[in-house]
Structure 1
Amino acid sequence: MSMESNAQRKRQPDRPFYLPKGDTTSSRIITEAKESLNNRTGLQAVVTKRPSTPRDATRSLFGATSTRAPENRPPSSFSLGSRHFDGADTSRPTSRTRLQPINHKPKLPSEEEVESGLLPPKPPSDPNKVQRGKATRTRLQQSTSVESSLSSEVKSRLDTSPSDVKTVDEPVRRVHSGPKERSSLPVEERGEGDGREMPYRAPSSASVRSPPRSAESRTGSGGTKRTSSAGSTGRGGSAGKREEETAEEALFYSQNIAPLLERMTAASSKKDLKKLGQVTEDLYSLLQKENLLGRNCKQRTTILKSIFKLLDADDTRIQLKLARLILAFKVTGNNLLSACKLVFKISRNEKNDPEFLKGDILDVLLDTLKSTDPFSASEALVFCIGSLKLLTGNATIVKQLVKKDCIENLAILLNSINKTIREGSEPSTQLGNILVQATAALRNLADTGSSRERLLGCQVIEALCLIIDSFTSDGDLMLNISRIFSKVTLHTDCCTALADHPTSYRSFVSILQKHQHKSDVVVRVSFVLGNMTAKNEVARLRLFQEAGSFDILLSLFRFYLEQDVKNQGKETKKEVAEDGSTVNKTEDVLIKVIRVIANLSINENVGPVICSNYQCVDFLLKVLETKEVSSSEELVLNTVATINNLSFYNTKTSAITTLQVRVLEVLLKLVLANNMEAMVEACRVFANLTRQKVVRDFLAEQKIDRMLVTMLDSGNREVVYISCGVLINFMVDEENRPMLKQEHGIRKLIEVLRDFSRTDWELASLVCQILWNYSGKITSSNDCFGQQESQDLTELLAELLDRDSALDLSFKDEADDEMTDYFEETWTEQFCPVAEQLLQRIETHQSDLEPLDNPSGS
């Protein structure tokens, strides 16, 4: 162990612990100063780096580590072309929801009704037998019977309002019937003399309603007027409404839109992709300018059919432009799914990212996200949000999406799903697939500067907590949510929002219980809990009081410690982080779990309970016994810091006290290691344990007290502080006091007092306490401290006790009133009381009389 000389320490003074490292507020300076003082008392919150994020080599929906079965998730790779789009975009979106049967039982006709000719006669009991005794009905009679039958069917379906039926002569099309299954037309509607049937006439409002039809079926075989194909968008659109195209609209289409479609087709056939792209842009701009996008255009279906035929163009830029047009038309059903798949397929290649920054494709995607129902078009939404997720891997696109309120739109989706589940719907696999994409996108969006305020403003944190409660078993989803929280809880405001949520602790405990063996989930949830408990006393208490919380922490500790011991000496596969570094996943989990235990133990009510848990202390000691600080530095340092916090509680049931010999042995190994941080952490524990004489005697035999005196020359403020803390306890024993003077400790302490007192009054106070304990049996100041040391100490203490001299800071201009008051408070309350007593003792035992060399020879 190399130490800097005293001269070097003076040439390179250490920065005072309360001074800012950069531009910061005075309140922050005070906060950091108080935190530093709290750490010096023996209790400290453990700090660790955020879990590494593995490199994602391929852009896909769920990633290579997904736990989803292939049959429960849409594929990331698929073939897609014009044949996958419907020629006519139906007004009613496809739905997999099974319709409920109609609660209506038709009344059977009586014999009188049959015989009167109002209804067709009952069929024979044996349909294979022919009733030969009856004459054949005429064609007119057959028609009349059909009319009567249809009239009865209308009446039975209406059931309550027979007066609404205006006429029984109107033809009725049966629900879901094809052209060949349509009923024969009445004689009155046939042509006179030629025997041909007249065109089919739409039923009146009193007739049975048929489902919405395609645009082609609406125009009819002999119709001449174009009708609107507008229908449902999937969220309560006006299905079935029909508007006739005006002459002005027809003229606009023929003069403006149709020529562009023809040019697009011609360019496609000639494979002139540049021209095709330009004309596609022209068409989009025209439709957007005339407000003909969405479902407003009467020729919407015709335009879509033309666009679909162009999708086989082997150029992603053209495909993206066409996909934008399709989505802007608010397509539904299969066309919506195919369009979202197309965009997703293009977004999988990061070389295409610049194309998404052109035009308003991002706005169209976000609009599709807002307008698509997660329950009736779930698969389409998976690919839509999946595209956004992949695009958030691009830093430039992320900033654009944040500005376009992508976070807010995703928050609306989360709240919509939570509301539906709260109202009684069961969490489904399809909803889980949507949420996996949404949370993955939020994970990437959380990295931008303004995202934290947006996440808090639209209550994403609260929404994610509710999702945890509903989808705890979904490993992919829990991983994404834990990644979001591991990012945002690096900030105090997000930590506070999460800690204040009533179910957050229960939710995280549930995740740990459900996914104990998924290290990527456990490491992040543990990191989040460590952040929540780092500075929040209420969070420490609430987490510890949550049912099963500490038991699951110990269970995780045991499992991953056993895994680590098994893997020692073996070649284990390490995870490669985004920054290129390698991470031992098992060790990383142990680091995060131990950190939670360390932070919990800071609470004065929780600490003594954990300190009495022999299993916990045993696990901590096993870590130090099996790991080396040279290869597992963070794990070892976190473990020692946890032992330090637990050793602070000197209770009768303390496992640290019971196992103190074992504790001292593992700590001695760290003191002898060539690692200054490990030595400091070990000495922190010594400062607590040396309150017992048996420990002081053991360490004195190992010459630890002499090593501590040597550390006074280290030049490191915290090292000097810890050394002084332990030496105070050693000086309680009279047999240990001579060592201080033999190792030139008095002179070193005077130098520490001179160098650090004006910038660290707490450290100056510790120096005075050491000298006070050391001089407990003083008879002469010169004999006790040394003549020169006694004189220097007297002068220095008198100077430091003078207010004007002590508080005359060289950096006074940098300190505001709040900082000055704080600094004066530590001088008054911590330094002056012990320094005044020490100075009085030294002066009391000093003599101004000098002995005569030869009294008889004068």
Structure 2
Amino acid sequence: MLSSNDQKLEKLDPCHRPSMPKQKTSAEIISEARNALRSVRTQRPFTPREDQRKLFGPASSRTAESRPPSSFSLHASSFELPDSRPISGTRLSPLELKPRAPVCHTTEEDACLFFPRPPLDPAKIRRISGARARFYRAASQGTLLSDRSLAAAHSETMEESSEIVTMGNSAAKTNRTYLAASNTVGHLKTYPLQLTYDQGFREIKEREVKEPSPPSHLQNGGSEAAHMRHHGANLTPGHDSERVCRDQGKRRARASSCPSSSDMGRLETRAASRASLQERETEIEVDGVFWETRIEPILQELETEEDIESMCAACTKLHHTLEDGRMLRKKFKGRSILLKTLYKLVDADSDSLSLKLAKLILALKVSRKNLLNVCKLVFKISRSEDNDVLMQKDNILESLLEVLRDEDLQSNTEAFLYCMGALKFLSGSPGFLPEMINKGAVETLMKLIKQMNENIKKHGACLPNSGNLLVQTTATLRNLADSPLTRSKLLNIGAFPQLCTVMEQCMDDRDVCTNIARIFSKLTSYRDCCVALASDSRCYALFLNLLNKYQKKQDLVLRIVFILGNLTAKDNQAREVFSRERGSIETLLTLFQNFYQLDQHSPRLGLSGARSPAEAEDVLVKLTRVLANIAIHPRIGPVLAANPRVVGLLLTTLESKSLSDCEELVINTTAAINNLSFYQVKSSILQHKKLYVAELLLKLLVSDNMDGILEAVRVFGNLSQDRDICNFLMQKNVHKFMIALLEARHQDICFSACGVLLNLTVDKDKRAILKEGGGIKKLVDCLREFGPGDWQLACLVCKALWNFSENITNAAACFGDEDTNRLLVLLSSFLDEELALDGSFDQDLKSYHRLHWETEFKPVAQQLLKRIQSHHTSPEPLAVPSF
């Protein structure tokens, strides 16, 4: 059952009407070119290949001052050795001269003047456990003692440490030591700690020495002492402390100059944080025998060897050895020595060796500036295409992807930039595409894009570092988009909304928007990707905003218009949604006018010139395609046909461009005029200018371009429903040209020519034209040749013959004996359902053929066969023709 729109259109043109509003089969998609309203195809914009490998190409909108450099020098001194090892607890050796207190003191100052203890010997720190080490470190950074008791307390503590370390060397011994903490009244509480087998301490049991409770006015002081005791502060009681407790007034007077309990809490919190960080970053011990027998010989070889190939082999051997020893990690003893040796080799200035070093250094999980430098090193190597084979052989790709997956984006943005730059260069090499996709590069890039989207949303703007990284990331994804595997992965992970979000948030960054537009222009050449993108309703407004913002940027405008042409080529809903966006048609017309003027003033060079065809012309091609596609919609088409600006721009283009110079533009313009000419409404501008349009189309008919001829004939198929156009065609002998086209053996051309001849035979005065030039015979030949595979064409032939034979009295006199007999045989055979539909087609094609055979060909053919049989007197039997 036809919809109301289709019924209206069928009344306007019984031969050229849109397909029925149902889900299209594969056969119907293939045959869409047959419809009077047709979507227009065009070539995807060419993506230029950069001659030089740089972070930002010559077409970048970034100035040289605002973008990171692509060329730089790297040396061993560029790497920072301290950054390659964990923050160590090792401190400077103790000073020989211990600090002394000032000579003169008052009695009040004695209890508040404290000096830090000198740091302990690093060797002793390493021999004791983490918990005990923290205790010593805290003690070395300042125990709160008076000047008078400082020397004695320090002496006692060092003796205790010496005793504990001595006991720790024997795993069989277990001793107890008590850490005493002093409160403000001189009372002691002891906490027993047990030295365990691993030389660490653990608390056994809290035991309090029963003492009289302090006076109520001294309770705060006791709480302060207990707080310090809980964190392991070593307060040795002395006579000065007792004197302070007895003299409360003096203590209050000194409170302003002595550390308060809150200050002490902050100091102890910092000490605990440092200790916790140091404990987490403690170097992991390695087997000394393994290091001495396996690692050190290779390091010595690297330091003494001068042959590059031998050094490369040694690096490979070192990598395997470290992997066997499970030493490819962030923290292990000897790592700083190892990295120091590797950094020195960077000065060898060999790409093959530098690549080996980079892979090994990345495997050792360096961070901060060293990570940046090694990423720069890989980027520098990847800038030469000659190194692509080398990089593929050494499998550096996996190391680069691990950086993106494992490292923190916020603290390593610049390192990510150069890492992604190297990946961009590799993705431009066809040999890397399958490997990158198989290793999860698409998923990694989209995860990174999602993370950057969240960061940009958090900050409310696209920061320069994020923008630079997005340029590299989207350029890499653009290269990967050439593979069908990438397309399926992007569809599976729902990448299109994320890419739209990037364009929306970084609209001011033309480089990012251009890269994403290139991605979409590749992907939307496929129907499933068009559906995925169109499902994001904001995409149309987003594209229109970009077109308005970058009206003079040809590369970006060209790709966005191409994307819109892809979206509106197959989906009627997309045509409607786009046309409903505010200012959509106005934006297209403004762009059309601007680029038409630009094309008129741009030079057109010949074969020896550097510019052919014009870039502005390519934009016009894509714009006319969008107009032609949205004109298919039954609501939008009449509105466009009545728009003087739309019709005026199309006709101006057809006037000024020749088919030989601007083939695709002229053909697309003619296709757009064809779709608009379909709507036979009073407000149509084309109906008022139909004779002028017919004059313009004549130059296409006399060309030797079959595509141009086909488009012109299609327009005449719509216009020839008007009597004035029919008279014009007869005056210009166009009908003879249409009869000649029946011999073209081109299915679509025969179909369109039959449509024009059918409209001419509606007028009784013009029916005799079919006999001129053997028109009847050529129509019967078309029926015989194309009938079984094209029931729409067979229907047009039967309709033309029906009009021609309206007042028939004798079939032989009308068609001729030979053609009459041929028609009787052909029509009888084609009306036999088994013979007509017995073709080797798939199920979709069978359904398609049956649909058009039953609804279009069969009703007309039956009536024509009855008319010929009723006026045919030949008694001779008819022979069945062979096909």
Which TM-score tier does this pair reach, normalised by the shorter chain? 0.7 to 0.9
SS in 2 for 1:209: helix
1:160-199, aligned counterparts within 5 Å? 170=139, 172=141, 187=151
Q: Which has the higher contact order (CA 8 A, sep 6+)?
A: 1
Amino acid at match of 1:659: K
Q: Percent identity?
A: 37
Q: Distance in 2 between matches of 1:650 and 1:702?
A: 23
SS in 1 for 2:270: coil
Does residue 589 of structure 2 align to residue 589 of structure 1?
no
1:78 to partner: Cα distance: 0.9
Q: Which of 66, 76, 80 does residue 82 from structure 1 map onto?
A: 76
1:37 to partner: Cα distance: 4.5
Partner of 1:147: 114
SS in 2 for 1:604: coil
1:742 to partner: Cα distance: 2.6
Does residue 282 of structure 2 align to residue 243 of structure 1?
yes
Q: Residues 569 and 646 (structure 1 numbering): CA distance in 2 closer, same or farther, change over 3 Å?
A: same
Amino acid at match of 1:241: R
| Bigger Rg over Cα | 2
Q: Residues 479 and 713 (structure 1 numbering): CA distance in 2 closer, same or farther, change over 3 Å?
A: same
Partner of 2:662: 632
Does residue 501 of structure 2 align to residue 462 of structure 1?
no
Does residue 57 of structure 2 align to residue 63 of structure 1?
yes
Partner of 1:127: none
Q: Which moved more, 1:696-705 or 1:566-575?
A: 566-575
1:383 to partner: Cα distance: 0.2
Q: Residues 39 and 358 (structure 1 numbering): CA distance in 2 closer, same or farther, change over 3 Å?
A: closer
Q: Distance in 1 between matches of 2:437 and 2:503?
A: 24
Q: Residues 776 and 84 (structure 1 numbering): CA distance in 2 closer, same or farther, change over 3 Å?
A: same
SS in 1 for 2:333: coil
Amino acid at match of 1:545: R
1:509-528, aligned counterparts within 5 Å? 509-528=544-563
1:827 to partner: Cα distance: 2.3
Does residue 781 of structure 2 align to residue 773 of structure 1?
no
Partner of 2:440: 405
Amino acid at match of 2:69: P
Q: Distance in 2 between matches of 1:64 and 1:212?
A: 50
Does residue 876 of structure 2 align to residue 838 of structure 1?
no
Question: Any conservation in 1 of the 2:281–2:331 contact (CA below 8 Å)?
Answer: no
Question: Any conservation in 1 of the 2:477–2:519 contact (CA below 8 Å)?
Answer: yes
Question: Any conservation in 1 of the 2:812–2:820 contact (CA below 8 Å)?
Answer: yes
Does residue 263 of structure 2 align to residue 207 of structure 1?
no
Q: Residues 383 and 678 (structure 1 numbering): CA distance in 2 closer, same or farther, change over 3 Å?
A: same
Deviation string 1:713-748 (CA, Å, 9 cap, x unpaired) is 111111111100111111111222222213321222
Q: Residues 744 and 289 (structure 1 numbering): CA distance in 2 closer, same or farther, change over 3 Å?
A: same
Does residue 44 of structure 2 align to residue 44 of structure 1?
no
Q: Residues 344 and 550 (structure 1 numbering): CA distance in 2 closer, same or farther, change over 3 Å?
A: same
Partner of 1:116: none
Q: TM-score, normalised by structure 1?
A: 0.77
Amino acid at match of 1:506: A
Q: Distance in 1 between matches of 2:350 and 2:631?
A: 61
1:824 to partner: Cα distance: 3.4
Question: Any conservation in 2 of the 1:565–1:626 contact (CA below 8 Å)?
Answer: no
Question: Any conservation in 1 of the 2:802–2:864 contact (CA below 8 Å)?
Answer: yes
Q: Distance in 2 between matches of 1:71 and 1:173?
A: 50
Deviation string 1:83-107 (CA, Å, 9 cap, x unpaired) is 11112116799xxxxxxxxxxxxxx
1:568 to partner: Cα distance: 5.2
Amino acid at match of 2:859: P
Q: Distance in 2 between matches of 1:294 and 1:659?
A: 79
Deviation string 1:746-783 (CA, Å, 9 cap, x unpaired) is 22212222222222222111111111222334444444
Deviation string 1:832-856 (CA, Å, 9 cap, x unpaired) is 211222233334445689xxxxxxx
Partner of 1:543: 578
Q: Which of 114, 128, 137 does residue 104 from structure 2 map onto?
A: 137
Partner of 1:800: 830
1:490 to partner: Cα distance: 1.9
Structure 1, unpaired ranges of 5+? 1-28, 94-119, 121-134, 151-164, 175-182, 193-197, 219-230, 232-237, 577-581, 850-858
Q: Distance in 2 between matches of 1:37 and 1:274?
A: 63
CA-based RMSD? 3.5
Q: Residues 366 and 189 (structure 1 numbering): CA distance in 2 closer, same or farther, change over 3 Å?
A: farther
Partner of 1:684: 714
SS in 2 for 1:309: helix
1:375 to partner: Cα distance: 2.3
Partner of 1:126: none
Q: Residues 92 and 684 (structure 1 numbering): CA distance in 2 closer, same or farther, change over 3 Å?
A: farther
Q: Which moved more, 1:69-78 or 1:815-824?
A: 815-824
Q: Which of 678, 689, 692 does residue 659 from structure 1 map onto?
A: 689
Deviation string 1:631-654 (CA, Å, 9 cap, x unpaired) is 221111111111111111112221
Q: Residues 770 and 308 (structure 1 numbering): CA distance in 2 closer, same or farther, change over 3 Å?
A: same
Q: Distance in 1 between matches of 2:386 and 2:392?
A: 12
Q: Which of 677, 699, 715 does residue 647 from structure 1 map onto?
A: 677
1:115-514, aligned counterparts within 5 Å? 137=104, 146-147=113-114, 170=139, 172=141, 187=151, 207=268, 209=270, 241-243=280-282, 246=285, 249-267=287-305, 271-514=306-549
Question: Any conservation in 1 of the 2:453–2:501 contact (CA below 8 Å)?
Answer: yes
Amino acid at match of 1:827: W
SS in 2 for 1:450: helix
Q: Residues 239 and 408 (structure 1 numbering): CA distance in 2 closer, same or farther, change over 3 Å?
A: farther
Amino acid at match of 2:428: G
Deviation string 1:186-226 (CA, Å, 9 cap, x unpaired) is 6458789xxxxx9xxx997953637999xxxx9xxxxxxxx
Amino acid at match of 1:66: S
Deviation string 1:506-556 (CA, Å, 9 cap, x unpaired) is 222222222221111111112222112211122111122122222221121
Question: Any conservation in 1 of the 2:86–2:282 contact (CA below 8 Å)?
Answer: no
Question: Any conservation in 1 of the 2:604–2:614 contact (CA below 8 Å)?
Answer: no
Q: Distance in 1 between matches of 2:707 and 2:464?
A: 49
Question: Any conservation in 1 of the 2:743–2:778 contact (CA below 8 Å)?
Answer: yes
Q: Which moved more, 1:826-835 or 1:678-687?
A: 826-835
1:480 to partner: Cα distance: 0.9
Question: Any conservation in 2 of the 1:779–1:845 contact (CA below 8 Å)?
Answer: yes
Q: Distance in 1 between matches of 2:347 and 2:625?
A: 56
Deviation string 1:403-453 (CA, Å, 9 cap, x unpaired) is 111111111101111223334543211101111111111111122242222
Question: Any conservation in 2 of the 1:611–1:654 contact (CA below 8 Å)?
Answer: yes
Q: Which moved more, 1:253-262 or 1:485-494?
A: 253-262
Partner of 1:618: 648
Partner of 2:794: 764
Q: Residues 848 and 66 (structure 1 numbering): CA distance in 2 closer, same or farther, change over 3 Å?
A: closer
Q: Distance in 1 between matches of 2:571 and 2:72?
A: 49
Amino acid at match of 1:527: F
Question: Any conservation in 2 of the 1:712–1:719 contact (CA below 8 Å)?
Answer: yes
Amino acid at match of 1:396: G
Does residue 764 of structure 2 align to residue 734 of structure 1?
yes
Q: Distance in 1 between matches of 2:580 and 2:648?
A: 22
Q: Residues 818 and 572 (structure 1 numbering): CA distance in 2 closer, same or farther, change over 3 Å?
A: closer
Question: Any conservation in 1 of the 2:25–2:844 contact (CA below 8 Å)?
Answer: no
Q: Residues 36 and 326 (structure 1 numbering): CA distance in 2 closer, same or farther, change over 3 Å?
A: closer
Partner of 1:755: 785
Q: Residues 263 and 795 (structure 1 numbering): CA distance in 2 closer, same or farther, change over 3 Å?
A: closer
Question: Any conservation in 2 of the 1:574–1:583 contact (CA below 8 Å)?
Answer: no
Q: Residues 188 and 825 (structure 1 numbering): CA distance in 2 closer, same or farther, change over 3 Å?
A: same
Equivalent residue pairs, number: 716
Partner of 2:20: none
Q: Distance in 1 between matches of 2:573 and 2:723?
A: 36
Q: Distance in 1 between matches of 2:610 and 2:512?
A: 21
1:457 to partner: Cα distance: 2.0
Does residue 706 of structure 2 align to residue 712 of structure 1?
no
Question: Any conservation in 2 of the 1:327–1:339 contact (CA below 8 Å)?
Answer: yes
Question: Any conservation in 2 of the 1:374–1:431 contact (CA below 8 Å)?
Answer: no
Q: Distance in 2 between matches of 1:44 and 1:239?
A: 72
Question: Any conservation in 2 of the 1:486–1:525 contact (CA below 8 Å)?
Answer: yes
1:601 to partner: Cα distance: 1.3
Question: Any conservation in 2 of the 1:365–1:384 contact (CA below 8 Å)?
Answer: yes
